[in-house]
Structure 1
Amino acid sequence: MTISVVLHGVESTGKSVLAERLAGHFGTIWVPEYGRTHAEIHGVAMDEADLLLIGRTQAAMIAAAMPRANRFLFADTDSLMTAAWAQMMIGHVPKDLMTYQRADLYLLLEPDVAWVPDALRIYGDDPVRARFADISRAVLEQAGVHWASIGGDWDARFAQAVTIVENFAPPKSLQGFDLRRENE
């Protein structure tokens, strides 16, 4: 059985680097973020159609990678993170973004590292970044998925993620399982 792990959180919290690093550590593959590629080609001003396309494409990329994964599959975002982007960008979450296959485990990267600007990052102002972080967390809670918070410097994030992933054994029924309590 392959366990899917999605990195979730606001921009500039190290999701891409951590996903790749975890995949290397666990000897498996990772799925990059399609939304960034879309923004590189089409720009950062997005509407509902763009966000739905991003969510659909990310879900398809994750599904296509699952058979090639070795025990774990790491993904740098999924449709739930796209749902958080939708709330920030267009003021609501299109229902379709909440309907795609969900990961077994989400690692929420806290915004407690310095924001690094680049041409595609748009929510670096501290109050706006904090609002986006709150929305990102709320989407996970609304979706009812299993998640754990990751914080600290880059090495601390990696160490926390490895420990959480190594200790995550999804029960037959994930209903009622609150991973957050396990890691407090």
Structure 2
Amino acid sequence: MTSLARPRPAAGEPAVVRVPVSDPRVRPLLRELGDEYCARYGKDAHAELARYPDEEFTAPHGGVLLLLLEHDEPVAGGAFRRYDAGTAELKRIWTHSAHRRRGLARRVVAELEHEAAARGYRRVYLTTGPRQPEARGLYLRTGYTPLFDTEADPETIGPLPFEKHLPHAPRGLAPV
């Protein structure tokens, strides 16, 4: 299990900023994420990204986080939404293609887990696509339990589900 201690960025690392989906800095995240999904899966993924209403990613049940560079440029981000009363669902985990292999996705996931735990969620659920081995590896390395046969061909499974149980929220925080 993870602790509720907030990950501390190193000096010069991008700052964490919480923004609504409507913030203009979210557009590059969704655009590049959609383009990448289209390239990997050969269909229009932008409609899938628009499937959930923005309200599902706002407090008190969900949230969007962006990691920003000094010049207010988004380099990585992600969101969560309420999956059920005790579970947050991570969505839209993204790292800009020019900023990969720096641990930013790991940091986004840790920040989202912290925020979800602080809001009273006890579990995190997510899915990733079968053609995203980097994401599959990230979730396995960060303590997520695969809810599928890891020996099977991912293409035969479809979306790959994962879960992770979170520590209890600090005293004084009510579950969502």
The question of a shared fold, defined as TM-score above 0.5 by the shorter chain, is answered with: no
Structure with greater strand percent: 2
Structure with greater helix percent: 1
Q: TM-score, normalised by structure 2?
A: 0.35
- Higher RCO (C-alpha under 8 Å, 6+ residues apart): 1
Q: TM-score, normalised by structure 1?
A: 0.34
